[in-house]
Every structure is written in C-alpha cells, then in structure tokens.
Homo-oligomer: A and B are copies of this chain.
Amino acid sequence: MNYVTIKDVAHEAGVSVPTVSQVLNDTGRISAATRQRVLEAVRRLDYIPNSAAISMRSSSTKTVGILVPDISNSYFSYLISLITRELLVEGYVCMIGSSSESLEGQDRFLRSLLTQRIDGAILIPQGTASRGLKKFVASGLPLVILDRQVRDLPDAGRIPVIDADPRPGIKAAIESVKARGHSRIGFIHGPTAKSPNLLEREQMFVDIAGSRLGNRNALVSEHVSALSAIRELLSRKVDTFMFGYSPDALEAIRYFRLQGLKIGVDVSIISFDDIPVFELTAPSISVISQQQGMMGDYGVRMLSSLMQGRALGEQTEDAFGRIRIPTLFIDRESVGETCTVA
C-alpha cells in the first residue's frame, strides 16, 4: 500500500511538517491562508492522519463511529439504537453514518469518519472490501464488524466479526412449513447480491429446503426488483415465500394485499429480521430473528475491550474467527395450513 504521509502533505502545501501537524491538531498560530492551503492539500491527496497521531491528540475522545447500510431499514435503526444506548451508558457518543446500500456512500462516510476524532468504530459494511474500508482497517483504529461479513478484506483476521448463523432459523422455519403441508417454497435474497451473508442464506435455503421438499420445490429467483422476483415465483406456483431481506417482505405484503391474496390463507410468508412492524400487521408475520439484542451487546462489549486495550477474552468463535449468533424461528400467523395459489 502506498499511503500518503504528512510529508507529502507538507510538500504539496509548500509548508513544513510541524505546520501541517499544527493545522490538523488545531494548535499553534497559523494564518487562515496557510490553514486553507494545508487543508486543501490534505483533501487533494486524500490524506488521513494516522491513528497514532489521532490518539496522541487527546487521550480519548469518547466518540465512536457507526456505519449502517440504510438508516430507514428498521432492522438497522433498531440495532443501532440498541448500540448507541449501550455505548452511552459506557460514556461514548456515537456518530452514525449511512451508506445508503452503496459502496460509494460507504466509502465517503468512512473517509470522513477517519478525519474525525473517534476512539473506534462499529461497522455494518457492504459485502465487498471497498477502498474506503481497506483504508479504515489499515488505520489501526479499534474496530468491530457487525451483521455482515466482507469478502477479501485484508488483515481481516484481527478484526472481530459478529454475525448471525442463518442455519438454525432456516431449518426450523422449513420444518414448520413442511409440517403444515406446504410443498413449494421460494426464496428471495434481497438486492445486495454481493453480500456474503445474503448469499449464504440463499445457499442454506437451497440445501435445507431441497433436502426436505425435493430440489424442484425449493425455488430461488433472480432479483432485479423485489416485485419482479415475487411475480416470477408466483407464476412458478410457489405457495410459501421466504425473504432474506425484510424490506422485500414489506413490499410483498403491500403487493399481495393489492392483488387480493390473503397472507396465511392464499400465500404464506416468512421473513428474516425481527422488526416491530411484523408484529403489527394482520396477520402477524413469522420471522427468522438474528437476535439483534445479543448481536449489539457482543459488538459493544468487544469494541469497548479493544478501545480500552483489554484482551477480547474467550469468545465462541468459529473456524474463521467469527462470532456467530444462532438465528431463531419465531412462528406467528403468516404461515397457514396447506394452501395453494390458484
């Protein structure tokens, strides 16, 4: 890696290294013009002060950065509200940013976050190792990755990853669906096709549903949009839908209502994510819960240990160094007794 150093910035701005340092640390007497020149050089070179320098600036800022894929997805807003409350209790303020489910949105927030004064971060990243994420990891800041794995992240071994193990939830859901006489299930994995976690859910669905109901009754769909996937699976005579991404299930509820299809009667639904709305719809929606409470808890405890330089302690890690929270199937009213779509 070829990181920009403070020397590069000084050279670019035509000033000395201590001057750059003073500007970045907001110390000393620097003219507005010089300050401007330094900051422009910082921006032009995309210079990020290294974390050693950051932490030397002050003992601790008691601020934590949080990256969330989409703040309007209530699975995330609920998880984040749990985390911010727990961190507040431990004396930390959170700076939250949304990637709006895009790599570029993510990287712009992470780049900005690195220039801020934070003690550490909890990131729920996109599924591929973006430039911004690599840079963030390389900064050496205390860091925990939550809920979503990242493909091909260098140095990933030293970063705690806490996510949900989809197997137990999917298995229990399919058993229950089968016991009620349904024979044809479709899975819709959600829009972020590159997320290892969403793809893993799909793969596990294919394995488990295939072995219980026969491969030709375990259907998956291309996902151009949630609606196109729902329509495709309906046309292939699916009687039960499983959603890997809860916003898609919300779209399905709207669509089925418009089409006059009764959930739990004409068509059955199970969705990932235990979000409050699924309890309030009628019928209420059966879910595969990732136990966000537990996930948030682990995340806060591990980040807190890292920020205080404590050992992580014994954790239940799998072969890849991840902590996996088992998913739970919560049975409600959206899976009916044997039914078929006309």
A interface residue numbers (CB < 8 A to B): 1, 3, 36, 39-40, 43-44, 46, 48, 51, 55-56, 59, 61-63, 70-72, 74, 77-78, 80-81, 84-85, 88, 93-98, 100, 102-105, 108-109, 111-113, 115-117, 250, 253-254, 276-277, 279-282
Contacts known (A277-B280, A280-B277); A43 close to B59, Cβ less than 8 A: yes
Q: Find chain B residues with CB under 8 A from A40 CB.
A: 59
A104 nearest in chain B by CB position: B48
> Do residues B115 and A61 form an inter-chain contact, with CB atoms below 8 A?
yes
- A23 and B45 alpha carbons, distance in the complex (Å): 27
A84 pairs with B98, CB closer than 8 A:
yes
Q: Which of A44, A84, A113, A117 has the most CB of B within 10 A?
A: A84
What is the CA–CA distance of A117 and B74 in the complex, to the nearest angstrom?
29
Count of chain copies:
2
Instruction: Name the contact of A102 in the complex, choosing from B48, B62, B80, B111 (C-beta under 8 A).
Output: B48
Write 16 A-B pairs (CB below 8 A) sorted by A numbering.
A39-B59, A44-B55, A48-B105, A51-B108, A61-B115, A71-B96, A72-B77, A72-B81, A84-B98, A95-B95, A95-B116, A96-B96, A96-B97, A280-B280, A281-B282, A282-B282
Min C-beta distance of A310 to chain B, whole Å: 20
Given A39-B59, A277-B280, are A98 and B81 neighbors across the interface (CB < 8 Å)?
A: yes
Other-chain residue from B62, B77, B117, B276 in contact with A277 (beta carbon distance below 8 A): B276
Contact in complex: B77, A74 (CB < 8 Å) = yes
Cβ contacts under 8 Å, A77 to chain B: 71-72, 74, 77
- The answer, among B71, B84, B281, for a CB contact under 8 Å with A280, is B281
CA distance A201 to B104 in the complex (A): 41
Nearest B residue to A115 by beta-carbon distance? B117
Q: How far is the CA of A78 from the CA of B74 in the complex (A)?
A: 9
**Which of chain B's residues have a CB closer than 8 A to the CB of A85?**
100
A249 to nearest B CB, angstroms? 10
Shortest Cβ distance from residue A14 to the other chain B in the assembled complex, whole angstroms: 15
A109: which of B93, B100, B116 is its contact (CB, 8 Å)?
A: B93
Contact between B71 and A56 (Cβ–Cβ < 8 Å)? no
CA distance A112 to B97 in the complex (A): 15
Residue of B nearest to A24 (CB): B117
Once A43-B59, A100-B84, A108-B93 are accepted as A-B contacts, the answer to whether A74 and B74 lie under 8 Å apart by CB is yes
Interface contact B71-A93, CB-CB below 8 Å:
no
Question: Contact at A84–B112, with CB atoms within 8 Å?
Answer: no
Partner of A253, one of B63, B84, B280: B280
Which B residue's beta carbon lies closest to that of A80? B71
